[in-house]
Amino acid sequence: MCCAIDSHVDRTFLFEVFLPPAAQKILRAVHHEQLSAEIQFDYSPHERSVMPRKIDPLNKKLYGSVTAMLTVTDVKAAADFYQKAFGFAKRGIMNGPDGKAIHAELTLRGTTLMLGPEMPQMGSRSAKTIGASPTSLYLLTENADKTVAKAVKLGAAPKGPVMDMFWGDRCGTVVDPEGYTWMVATHIAQPTPKEMQQKMKEQMVSQQAARAASAS
């Protein structure tokens, strides 16, 4: 038998802080129906009847120690892009009273990514609005070249070529439609600290030479 999660009240309260009072009651119902119904834990009837109800303060079954929360201009569009380009799965999307998405949770190999709308009155603006990415996200994939190409095809902007890096990853960088920078990588080698130091020097020399050539 499945049992819906019990942690939705905390997350609902978080969003109540940013919404008009009239929206709070509706928000609780929307959150419970749309988000918690999609996130379920399996418990047997016996376990549910004899075990005391306990709440894990760290909510480890759903989240790691740190969860990225990105402010975006369009929650649904951003969620669609991250699913198609990077392989995230949708855990749930919460709509506000006007029907627009106000919160989304995506997952990828045990990692959770949260999305929320811009709230200028609270100082929350997207990278797209700011005009620069205030953070970079490092995404490990099976094939960095293919993932970068797919992301670009779906609307991301490439920033330089995909290349082997001194720390052992093949890496390419893209800026997604919301303005956030993603470093897409595939682990291809396990260099020693000494080897990394040497490769770093070689890459720096190569990059300096390339910049000098382009400037001349």
Instruction: Identify the pLDDT of residue 59.
Output: 87
pLDDT at 125: 96
Token digits of residue 180 = 């956030």
- As given in the structure block, the two tokens for residue 178 are 């919301």
- Structure confidence at residue 19 (pLDDT): 52
For the chain (length 216 residues), average pLDDT per consecutive 10? Answer: 38 46 49 42 50 80 92 97 98 90 94 95 94 96 99 98 97 98 98 96 88 82
- Apex 66 CA angle, 64 and 70, nearest 5: 120
Listed in order, strand segments (DSSP E) in the chain are 2-4, 40-42, 68-72, 89-95, 101-108, 111-117, 136-140, 157-158, 163-164, 169-175, 181-187
- Choose which CATH entry (1.10.287.1080, 3.40.190.10, 3.30.720.110, 3.40.50.920) describes domain 133-216: 3.30.720.110
E-strand spans in 96-191? Answer: 101-108, 111-117, 136-140, 157-158, 163-164, 169-175, 181-187
Domain positions in the chain are 133-216
Provide the whole-model pTM: 0.74
Dihedral class, residue 212 (left if φ above 0, else alpha if ψ from -120 to 50, else beta): alpha
